[in-house]
Amino acid sequence: MKLGIVGLPNVGKSTLFNALTKAGAEAANYPFATIEPNIGVVNVPDDRLKVLAEISNSEKILYTTIEFFDIAGLVKGASKGEGLGNQFLSNIREVDAIVHVVRCFDDDNIIHVDGSVDPIRDIENINLELIFSDLEQIEKRLSKAEKQAKSDKKLLPEVELLRKLLNILESGKPARSLELNEEEKKLIKNFSLLSYKPIIYVANVSEDDIADDGKNNEYVQKVREFASDQGDEVIVISAEIESEIQSLDDDEKVLFLEELGLDRSGLDKLIQSSYKLLGLISFLTTGPMETRAWTIVRGTKAPQAAGKIHSDIERGFIKADTISFNELANSGSMAAAREKGLIRSEGKDYIMQDGDVVLFKFNV
Ligand code: GDP
């Protein structure tokens, strides 16, 4: 799963990306991350793993990860192929969701490309490039589909959806603001629209504004209003502070966060929200060798979850011995949980839940 970091020049994207890379997962486990300088692989923070590792006396803990992709180079007119515009748009096409960094700090020493700090103007500038690019694609598709639908009535639902999309995009709104039925949700996936991708706004603020989560920062208030109108989320971060935090060791980190009045870092908030935005959950495995979190899409059934570990386990799937993390943690040990009859034996139709601790049984 890959998230793309976008934003105008000088808003703090590289600073944020550097913080993410510093926080990066151990490179040895993810060799590709060191080859691609613009991809940062980060652990998804999960406090449950430490508890489980203690219960099982595990040698190591392996977090699950997500990837952030630094997408630089947006300029006005990108959708018309200006600057590195086309490259920029095709990079966005490859990601599952967008992290849009918006400048919400004043600093006369740092030039704003449009001359002043105005987060809503900035957001609209970028969103419009995505909308223009989608519009062009939808117009082409629509005229083709309309012709084909004359002889093939099966295409009528597609034509209808394309017309709705055309309307909403022409009104300057992103495709994701359109309400869709189940059939339309399936159809729209074929169009790979940029403005349909889920989005999180990151309001980049100065150090003074993080303790109260930007409540006294007017720019942040405006971004919050804008985002909530479209049903999107805002995370308040100081990219510079995050970068400093990531240079500290674990004990220093806790102290520094306390001084700032925070219970967790902005990066942790961003990573956890991104995970949720993508509809992802984790199931957990634990033993003396390792305790580990695995990523699945919400709604995944037990055999396909097993397939994340190894395709052989999916193929030979018999059952999944399952207990929720909370029940196991409360019991104190696997043996105690078993005695209480808390370990369920789930079959191939079981839909995995977030925090399920699982042992798969399978035929080899
Ligand atoms: P990018 O062009 O969006 O990648 O922006 P950069 O990350 O390179 O940041 C542009 C400039 O703004 C750099 O000089 C950063 O040090 C500075 N900067 C980034 N975040 C903050 C912040 O929260 N407050 C202030 N005052 N400066 C920041």
Are residues 132 and 106 part of one domain? no
The radius of gyration computed from the CA coordinates of the chain, to the nearest angstrom, equals 23
Are residues 219 and 257 part of one domain? yes
Are residues 312 and 272 part of one domain? no
Question: Does 159 fall in a domain?
Answer: yes
Tokens (6 digits) for 39? 């991809």
Question: Does 317 fall in a domain?
Answer: yes
Are residues 257 and 135 part of one domain? no
CB-count burial class (<10 Å; 0-12, 13-18, 19+) for 265: buried
> 240 in ligand 1 pocket by Cβ < 6 Å?
yes
Specify whether the CB–CB gap between 99 and 6 falls below 8 A.
yes
Question: Does 217 fall in a domain?
Answer: yes
> 10 in ligand 1 pocket by Cβ < 6 Å?
yes
> 105 in ligand 1 pocket by Cβ < 6 Å?
yes
CA–CA distances in Å: residue 298 to residues 70, 112, 130, 329: 26, 40, 28, 23
Question: What pLDDT score was predicted for residue 37?
Answer: 66
Q: Which of 180, 195, 210 is the last residue of a domain?
A: 195
Q: Which of 277, 309, 324 is the last residue of a domain?
A: 277
Ligand 1 atom closest to Cα of residue 207: 23
Question: Does 291 fall in a domain?
Answer: no
Question: What pLDDT score was predicted for residue 83?
Answer: 55
Q: How far is the CA of 107 from the centre of ligand 1 (A)?
A: 9
Q: Which of 195, 214, 240 is the last residue of a domain?
A: 195
CA distance 159 to 177: 19
Question: What pLDDT score was predicted for residue 138?
Answer: 96
Per-residue confidence of the chain (364 residues) as pLDDT tens digits?
A: 899 999 988 899 989 998 988 877 665 555 554 456 688 888 999 999 999 999 999 999 999 999 999 887 666 666 666 655 677 888 899 999 999 999 999 888 887 777 788 999 999 988 998 999 999 999 999 999 999 999 999 999 999 999 999 999 999 999 999 999 999 999 999 998 999 999 999 999 999 999 899 999 999 999 999 999 888 999 999 999 999 998 898 899 999 999 988 888 999 999 999 999 989 999 999 999 999 999 999 999 999 999 999 999 999 999 999 999 999 999 999 999 999 999 999 999 999 999 999 999 999 8
- 15 appears as a binding residue in the annotation: yes
Q: What is the domain extent for residue 176? A: 125-195
H-type helices in the chain, by residue range? Answer: 13-22, 32-35, 48-56, 85-93, 119-149, 156-170, 182-189, 218-229, 239-246, 250-260, 266-277, 302-309, 311-315, 325-331, 334-339
Question: Does 57 fall in a domain?
Answer: no
Question: Does 286 fall in a domain?
Answer: no
Are residues 247 and 184 part of one domain? no
- 12 appears as a binding residue in the annotation: yes
Q: How far is the CA of 69 from the centre of ligand 1 (A)?
A: 18
Are residues 269 and 148 part of one domain? no
Query: What domain count does the chain have?
Result: 3
Task: Tell me what ipTM this predicted complex has.
Answer: 0.93
Q: How far is the CA of 100 from the centre of ligand 1 (A)?
A: 14
Are residues 217 and 107 part of one domain? yes
Question: Does 148 fall in a domain?
Answer: yes
